[in-house]
């Protein structure tokens, strides 16, 4: 899966002959799993039609601040479009458009979006070789570097003027490759390996019955996605759940019981930088498992239980340089119990949630957590989606390695 998958991309198309390549570029972005919003300068519509780019991107194409064709008029909010984007790519970027970008000459929607951008901006120049080498163009490149914008170098070859040399816009495939390598190289968890547990465990009573819990596994899977999106290689040890991973950097190891999860974690832990125990592991399991289905004969039925192996504590005992994160789901004396767990299991950070908090717990899309580190610094969070909580947890890891 491409690092561009799921990313929101504003593709700016300016008025040069290389605009015909923008159709292929849009197609490649969509193939990579990105969401694409095309913004065209008025002049670019002389080279490629908005209908083509709209069809390929599956979104309307914007080229002006105000859609005059609408009966009541619609304002295309450049600020909203700029803030929506994870990345802005200007391809092709003509000498005229680059000059406007550098000097803040805001006479069209694309320049307004660029000037409002908070995200990384990539620029793929396209012009004749003399224009590409002109001192004013070189000066613009230097200005973009100061602004933190990234130039995708032009390629050499036959130009529209009939000359041959540097100035051709990079081919769409090369633009995609450049973006993927540049983005991947800047991901803060690139090179880190993270072990995560998720979901419930099922402890067999007989061939058809088990002891389990209501964990959906969503919190662990969300953490895995957030970590992988930051470049980490993730080993996700998951109990029984219908959830699937989207990112190719996530390796799922499916287990059923606490015993299986214990051995899977110990198989991978020594080679990991971080371990996050988000699974709801059964504390007890039946001491004896019936080989045949137990018949309903008596009014009462007793099952003798024994403790399962404490996965988190066992990892805390053998950890070396790993950053170890545990979860605590409490119903009373939450802070005190979480602090004891940090000490007892040799944790660096614990994520505490309470069933007393509305919106927290199993089977819900939200969670309300409190972070407590090994120095007992307490950081309470507001109720958030589990996706946002996952990002907060990953940011703790990023801060640890910063």
297 assigned to some structural domain: no
In this structure, the number of other CB atoms found within 10 A of the CB of residue 241 comes to 18
Q: pLDDT tens for residues 332-362? A: 888 999 999 999 999 999 999 877 667 666 6
Element (H, E) at 340: helix 334-345
Residue with tokens 């009014």: 299
User: How does pLDDT run across 276-294, given as a tens digit for each residue?
Assistant: 999 999 999 999 999 999 9
pLDDT tens digits, one per residue of 116-150:
999 999 999 999 989 999 999 999 999 999 999 99
| Same domain, residue pair 142 and 174 | yes
Residue 3 forms part of a structural domain? no
C-alpha distances in angstroms, 364 versus 211, 214, 240, 355?
21, 10, 17, 11
pLDDT digits (tens, 9 = 90+) for 25-83: 999 999 999 999 999 999 999 999 999 999 999 999 999 887 766 555 677 788 899 99
Identify whether 54 is part of a domain. yes
For residues 165 and 340, give the distance between their C-alpha atoms in angstroms, rounded to a whole number. 69
**Helix axes 109-116 and 95-103, enclosed angle (nearest 10):** 50
131 inside domain? yes
Same domain, 75 and 175: yes
CA distance 163 to 176: 26
Domain at 43, CATH number: 3.40.50.1950
Positions annotated as catalytic residues are: 213
Do 241 and 102 lie in one domain? The reply is no
Q: How many residues does the chain have?
A: 402
Among residues 186, 217, 246, which one ends one of the domains? Answer: 186
Task: Compute the C-alpha angle 94/96/102, nearest 5°.
Answer: 100
Q: For residue 117, what are the contacts with CB-CB under 8 A and spacing of at least 6?
A: 82, 85, 88
Number of domains in the chain: 2
The residue segments making up the domain with residue 334 are 193-291+303-401
Q: What is the dihedral of CA 139, 123, 50, 95, to 10 degrees?
A: 20
């Amino acid at each position: 899966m491409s690092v561009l998958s799921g990313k929101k991309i504003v593709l700016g198309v300016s008025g040069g002959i290389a605009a015909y390549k923008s159709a292929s570029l849009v197609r490649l972005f969509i193939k990579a799993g990105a969401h694409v919003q095309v913004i065209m300068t008025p002049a670019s519509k002389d080279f490629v039609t908005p209908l083509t780019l709209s069809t390929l991107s599956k979104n309307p194409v914007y080229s002006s601040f105000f859609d005059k064709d609408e009966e009541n008029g619609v304002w295309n909010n450049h600020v909203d479009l700029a803030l929506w984007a994870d990345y802005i790519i200007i391809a092709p970027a003509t000498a005229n458009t680059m000059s406007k970008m550098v000097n803040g000459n805001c006479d069209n929607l694309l320049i307004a979006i660029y000037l409002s951008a908070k995200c990384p901006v990539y620029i793929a120049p396209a012009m004749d070789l003399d224009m590409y080498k002109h001192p004013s163009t070189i000066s613009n490149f230097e200005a973009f570097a100061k602004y933190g914008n990234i130039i995708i170098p032009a390629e050499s070859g036959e130009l529209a003027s009939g000359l041959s040399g540097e100035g051709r816009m990079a081919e769409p495939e090369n633009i995609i490759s450049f973006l993927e390598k540049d983005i991947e190289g800047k991901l803060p968890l690139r090179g880190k390996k993270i072990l995560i547990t998720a979901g419930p465990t099922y402890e067999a009573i007989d061939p058809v019955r088990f002891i389990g819990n209501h964990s959906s596994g969503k919190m662990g899977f969300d953490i895995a996605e957030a970590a992988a999106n930051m470049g980490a290689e993730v080993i996700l040890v998951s109990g029984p759940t219908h959830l699937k991973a989207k990112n190719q950097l996530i390796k799922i190891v499916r287990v059923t019981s606490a015993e299986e999860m214990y051995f899977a974690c110990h198989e991978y832990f020594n080679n990991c930088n971080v371990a996050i125990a988000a699974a709801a592991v059964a504390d007890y399991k039946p001491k004896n498992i019936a080989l045949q289905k137990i018949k309903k004969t008596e009014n009462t039925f007793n099952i003798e239980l024994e403790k399962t192996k404490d996965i988190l504590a066992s990892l805390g005992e053998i950890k070396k340089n790993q950053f170890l994160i545990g979860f605590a789901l409490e119903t009373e004396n939450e802070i005190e119990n979480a602090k004891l767990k940090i000490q007892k299991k040799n944790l660096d950070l614990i994520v505490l949630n309470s069933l007393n908090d509305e919106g927290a717990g199993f089977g819900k899309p939200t969670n309300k957590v409190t972070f407590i580190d090994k120095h007992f610094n307490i950081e309470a969070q507001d109720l958030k989606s589990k996706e946002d909580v996952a990002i907060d947890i990953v940011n703790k890891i990023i801060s640890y390695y910063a």
